[in-house]
Amino acid sequence: MELEFYDEEKHDYFLEIYRKHSRSPTGQEKQFFRPLIEELVEEISEETGISSDFKLYFAITDESSLSDRLTINRYVKGFSYANFMEGFDLDVIMIRAVRDRKNWKACLINMLAHEMAHQQYYNITKNSPYKIWENLLFEGHAMNTAEKATEKLGTDWKPHYRSDKQIEINSRVIADLLDKNRVYDSEDIFCNGERPCPKAEGYNISYQLVKNISENESINADKLLKIPEEELKELISTNLSNILK
């Protein structure tokens, strides 16, 4: 892994989704976070088998730009990009974080594992997920991988959407969306906003779906990424009815 700290002037071309809540780390913050991130990435790579051959940009979250009532995983955020995507010539993870809020370190470990799992998805599938069914796999694989990694590293914090509780959404409603594109707005099942997933239940569905497939079909999360598309879509459709109403 190559680590580079975010510089507001140098990296003014970065996507706004990353820049708008980020600031450059101070010298002291760089000294604190560099060894920590390098150690965590190495440990996660050892526990999961995921390559650490990527570039990681790290920023401090600009807390003044966010509501104080938000959960910690809004203060610790990650984004992943592959070398085959437009504007990127290498695999990149972008992380922004804090160190002054409860559970910040546990959340950082989880976020690093989650984004590294996204890198694994890109490396295996050579594909950007556009359809909802692809994103259910994309997010579900990342959450299940992060869960196993954080358990092995002794972290007991987890995001609220990594839950086994019953999801009160009809499976047919989600099944009808599988071939639609992920749209990143209030109608998206991974965003807070409108029905059918007003509280971004798409993440919880993804987690339970991949977990259900892995357990019931005896297919681990990594092998799942190598299954042919039509077989994958059938697995997803079948297992949706197992986890939803």
Listed as ranges, residues in the chain with pLDDT below 70 are none
Question: What pLDDT score was predicted for residue 40?
Answer: 98
pTM of the complete model: 0.95
Q: Which two tokens stand for residue 171?
A: 């499976």
Question: What pLDDT score was predicted for residue 29?
Answer: 98
Cis peptide upstream of residue 159 (ω within 30 degrees of 0): no
- Exposure of 78 by Cβ count < 10 A (0-12 exposed, 13-18 middle, 19+ buried)? buried
Residue 112, sorted as left (phi over 0), alpha (psi -120 to 50) or beta, turns out to be alpha
Question: What pLDDT score was predicted for residue 223?
Answer: 87
Question: What pLDDT score was predicted for residue 187?
Answer: 76
Q: Are 143 and 162 in contact (CB under 8 A)?
A: yes
Q: Which two tokens stand for residue 173?
A: 């409603």
Question: What pLDDT score was predicted for residue 192?
Answer: 80
Nearest C-alpha neighbor of 65 from the set 5, 18, 130: 18
Nearest C-alpha neighbor of 79 from the set 131, 116, 29, 133: 116
Phi, psi of 117 (to 5 degrees): -65, -35
Give me the residues paired with residue 61 across strands: 22
> Which residues are CB-contacts of 8 (< 8 A; sequence separation ≥ 6)?
19, 22, 23, 24
Per the listing, tokens 């007003």 go with 198
Q: Which two tokens stand for residue 70?
A: 């938000």
Task: Give the domain ranges of the chain.
Answer: 1-128, 129-245
Q: Are 226 and 235 in contact (CB under 8 A)?
A: no
Question: What pLDDT score was predicted for residue 191?
Answer: 87
